Amino acid sequence: MAIDETNAAGAGAAAGGKRNFIHDIIDEHNRTGRFGGRVHTRFPPEPNGYLHVGHAASICLNFGIAETYGGKTNLRFDDTNPTKEDQEYIDAIIRDIHWLGFEWANLLYASDYFEQLYQWAETLIQNGKAYVDQLSADEIREHRGTLTEPGRNSPHRDRPTAESLDRFRRMRAGEFKNGEMVLRAKIDMSSPNINLRDPVLYRILHAHHPRTGDAWCIYPMYDWAHGQSDSIEGITHSICTLEFEDHRPLYDWFVEQLGIYHPQQIEFARVNVTTMITSKRKLLRLVKDGVVRGWDDPRMPTISAMRRRGYTPKAIRDFVEMVGVSRSGGIADIQMLEYCVRQDLNKIAPRTMAVLHPIKVVLTNYPEGQVEWFDSPVNPEDPTAGTRQVPFSKELYIEAEDFMETPPPKFYRLSPGKEVRLRSAYFVTCSEVIKDADGRIVELRCTYDPATRGGDAPDGRKVKATLHWVSAAHAVTAEVRLYDYLLTVPKSGDMDEDKDFMEYVNPNSLEIIDHAYIEPSITGAPVGKQVQFERVGYFTVDPDSTAEKLVFNRTVTLKDEWTKLQKQGG
């Protein structure tokens, strides 16, 4: 089955979000007329992995800013390193941004500008601002100096312009092997900003590029490609993360040297979330090592994974807005995300009864062979959603954890002699506990009160608990996958620096229930369908589902007062 994308947010995603410091900067630009009142942002992913929750924040920021100011946003792939990039990632990124509910003004690639970037590089050489260096990578590193010591000039730094030009052209022509030469900007080897110590502009990479094929064997570095791409596209505000702050002088230097349109780079703090890894390198390892089933494994922090898990675009956008934008890095509690997911799903997810860990209940005074169909609300939060019909009979399943033979204080659910309500059906009282030879409970005998039909007692008596249930004869069997956090510590800072992060991968992050019982109204649910299993949590139909057997992912649990009480009790 394919993912049902009909639940993707339409165009016109939620408004730009709450105010942040970038609005102040743009307002100032508009006041001074720097960009003529224009706002044009871009989202520039490198297609070397799947987008994750941190990218979602950047996407919402860039598209949100443009929307707030009536501007535009380009999607531009930063595809300058063919050894790491792949068409699969390009396709996934496009799918994910669309699913989040955003539409770009232009779909572009840095590789669209390779020829222009090359010409500008020749200009730089001709102006004496760049040179071909043939030091090895090790030698360049050695010449670069350290954080506290200045670097030294390359012996090739002052070679004649014509010689650099000739060699650069021959680099392009493919006359040299990988690593033999590079083009470097001629700036200042003693700059305290290491990015300004004659940064490499081009390296030789005899590699096939997903878009330009074998047309090039030299590829521009990020610093050389990014600002000029922004300039070409008329980007006004080039929003990136904090680690590029040190690169801004270089960004500015290039466009000034070239005398071309000058966008404004603005840095903000990357969004991190507890228990979520946002290092592409580590995510790639989880995938390659088979710790997870793929980039879209519902335990992953990728947008694809969150979609498969049942998160909604609205929930993710709400979360990003809740976290906000700042220049002081931090780590947001994943409970904020979960709150947003519950908040959205509570309003839209149809209710269903499903028993994950069944225990059989026999109603001793219920007529053999009788079946009643009860109306139950599809969604109590949304009366217009109507009702569904749920079959009831003599033999039922309830959740094993809803029964305790010797209940502790505050356990409101079923126990011997205790009366509870079965949701939308009857009050029942437990009369007998049947055990097997090993003393394990295998069945409960209960009586029902016919007068409580529909779930209300005409004499006004109350019960403390309402349980979900499924008629044994009508139950649909399904596989249910329960997920826990992928990491055993909330923050990467909580890990021992000497240990590999793999040691902190939660070995119990996936629990598979092969035979859950679900009420028959679930039959035919399409992939991507989101439901609430009452009293249990929100679930969605996984693409692994077949016509014979549905597979569900647990999106998020419901808040659970009882579990909390138990934990408090020790």
Partner RNA sequence: AGAGGGAUAGUUCAAUGGUAGAACAGCGGCCUUUGGAGCCGUCAGUCCUGGUUCGAGCCCAGGUCCCUCUGCCA
Which of 193-201, 206-214, 297-305, 540-548 is the region at the interface with RNA (rule: CB under 7 A)? 193-201
Give dist(CA 501, CA 106) in Å, integer: 38
Which of 5-13, 115-123, 187-195, 357-365 is the region at the interface with RNA (rule: CB under 7 A)? 187-195
Q: Which is nearer to RNA, 81 or 540 (CB)?
A: 81
Contact 231, 260 (CB under 8 A): yes
Q: Which is nearer to RNA, 58 or 304 (CB)?
A: 58
Among 34, 98, 129, 144, binds RNA (CB under 7 A): 144
186 is an active site residue:
no
| Residue whose token pair is 């942002």 | 41
Give dist(CA 3, CA 275) in Å, integer: 26
Q: Does 325 bind RNA (CB under 7 A)?
A: yes
115 is an active site residue:
no
Interface pattern 58-87 for RNA (x via CB under 7 A)? --------------------x-xx--x---
Q: How far is the CB of 423 from RNA (least distance, A)?
A: 5
- Listed in sequence order, the residues at least 6 apart from 172 whose beta carbon sits closer than 8 Å to its beta carbon are 118, 216, 217, 218
Q: Which is nearer to RNA, 88 or 381 (CB)?
A: 381
Q: How far is the CB of 438 from RNA (least distance, A)?
A: 27
Among 72, 209, 314, 421, binds RNA (CB under 7 A): 421
Percentage helix, strand, coil for the chain under 3-state DSSP, each rounded to 5: 35, 25, 45
Q: Which is nearer to RNA, 30 or 343 (CB)?
A: 343
* Annotated catalytic residue within 270, 360, 445, 453: 270
How many angstroms separate the most distant Cα atoms in the chain? 102
Q: How far is the CB of 149 from RNA (least distance, A)?
A: 8
Contact 390, 422 (CB under 8 A): no
Which of 5-13, 64-72, 113-121, 131-139 is the region at the interface with RNA (rule: CB under 7 A)? 131-139
Contact 164, 185 (CB under 8 A): no
Give dist(CA 232, CA 156) in Å, integer: 31
Q: Copy the structure tokens of residue 81.
A: 């390193």
* Stretch 267-286 residues interacting with RNA (CB under 7 A): 269
Q: Does 534 bind RNA (CB under 7 A)?
A: yes
Among 15, 88, 107, 327, binds RNA (CB under 7 A): 327
* Annotated catalytic residue within 46, 372, 443, 479: 46
Q: Which is nearer to RNA, 180 or 214 (CB)?
A: 180
For 150, the 3-state DSSP assignment is coil
Q: Does 140 bind RNA (CB under 7 A)?
A: yes
Give dist(CA 326, CA 1) in Å, integer: 41
For 486, the 3-state DSSP assignment is coil
Q: Which is nearer to RNA, 208 or 549 (CB)?
A: 208
Give dist(CA 280, CA 44) in Å, integer: 15
Contact 485, 334 (CB under 8 A): yes
Q: Does 412 bind RNA (CB under 7 A)?
A: yes
Give dist(CA 165, CA 431) in Å, integer: 93
Q: Which is nearer to RNA, 422 or 525 (CB)?
A: 422
Q: Which helix (H) or strand (E) holds 220?
A: strand 218-220
Which of 163-171, 258-266, 515-523, 531-539 is the region at the interface with RNA (rule: CB under 7 A)? 531-539
Among 30, 343, 393, 447, binds RNA (CB under 7 A): 343
Instruction: List, edge to edge, every strand of the sheet that includes 354-355.
Output: 351-352, 530-533, 537-541, 550-557, 476-483, 510-518, 354-355
Which of 145-153, 166-174, 255-263, 500-508 is the region at the interface with RNA (rule: CB under 7 A)? 145-153
Beta bridge partners of 251: none
Among 164, 521, 532, 540, binds RNA (CB under 7 A): 532
- Listed in sequence order, the residues at least 6 apart from 514 whose beta carbon sits closer than 8 Å to its beta carbon are 479
Give dist(CA 148, CA 491) in Å, integer: 31
DSSP class of 397: E
Give dist(CA 352, CA 563) in Å, integer: 22
Among 261, 485, 504, 562, binds RNA (CB under 7 A): 562
Q: Which is nearer to RNA, 1 or 269 (CB)?
A: 269
Q: Does 193 bind RNA (CB under 7 A)?
A: yes
Among 88, 103, 214, 333, binds RNA (CB under 7 A): 333
Among 455, 520, 526, 543, binds RNA (CB under 7 A): 455
Q: Does 331 bind RNA (CB under 7 A)?
A: yes
DSSP assignment of 191-204: -SSGGGSS-EEEEE
Q: Does 352 bind RNA (CB under 7 A)?
A: no
* Stretch 284-303 residues interacting with RNA (CB under 7 A): none
* Stretch 488-517 residues interacting with RNA (CB under 7 A): 493
User: Which long-range CB contacts under 8 A does 543-550 form with residues at least 24 apart?
Assistant: 543/1, 543/2, 543/3, 543/308, 545/1, 546/1, 549/477, 549/478, 549/479, 550/476, 550/478, 550/479, 550/518, 550/522, 550/525
Interface pattern 24-53 for RNA (x via CB under 7 A)? x-------------------x-x-------
Could you tell me which of 465, 429, 462, 463 has the C-alpha nearest to residue 444? 429
Give dist(CA 512, CA 552) in Å, integer: 10
84 is an active site residue:
no
Among 135, 385, 472, 513, binds RNA (CB under 7 A): 135
* Annotated catalytic residue within 42, 280, 309, 535: 280
Residues annotated catalytic, as ranges: 46, 270, 280
